[in-house]
Structure 1
Amino acid sequence: MSRAGARAGVGTYLRYDGETVEMVEMAATMTGNEILLKDSLGRILYVSLKDLLFSDRAAITPNEPGPGTAGMAPWVARLRQRAGGRVTGRGS
């Protein structure tokens, strides 16, 4: 099995719901980490980092040559394996 990875941060492009968007800002809030996305028309969308990581609707567009990523969900599944199942949603 080959490994692939991509950094995600301000300036990263990704496909979200079929549109190419750019991560413009990342903010830590009381409810979790929020990501400000901007599409090609300049529209702004706030999405939680959790939604991006666990959604099949998001895929990072790598800026560097090399293997790409099909989605973030497999990456999170691998994190869960390494953490022994401790990666979970927000507790109540």
Structure 2
Amino acid sequence: MKVIIKHFLIRLAILVLPLCALFLLYYFLYDPHTLCVGDDHRHTAGPLGYVLLAGAIVVFWGIALIAEIIWRLIKKDRTSSFVNLFLLVFVVLFLLFFL
């Protein structure tokens, strides 16, 4: 059971750490008021790039997880494969219902 939990947490950390790094980049580097002139407030699409990067991180993580599921099924490691499948379904359901 410890091995399954460790496997689950490592795969989840592989997703969460890049997303946290992207959030920190957004928080510390993005200034929405850099293009403002006096009281003239201008809106930019700066956060859109961060949203697209977050989506790319999730998509690439999902592709890597699907590849690992197939690889583990070929190696006959069904327990780890089902843990990965559960994690993939969990993340997809989270994205569908909460975003």
Quick check: TM above 0.5?
no
Higher relative contact order (CA 8 A, sep 6+): 2
Larger-gyration structure (1/2): 2
TM-score of the superposed pair, with normalisation by structure 1:
0.29
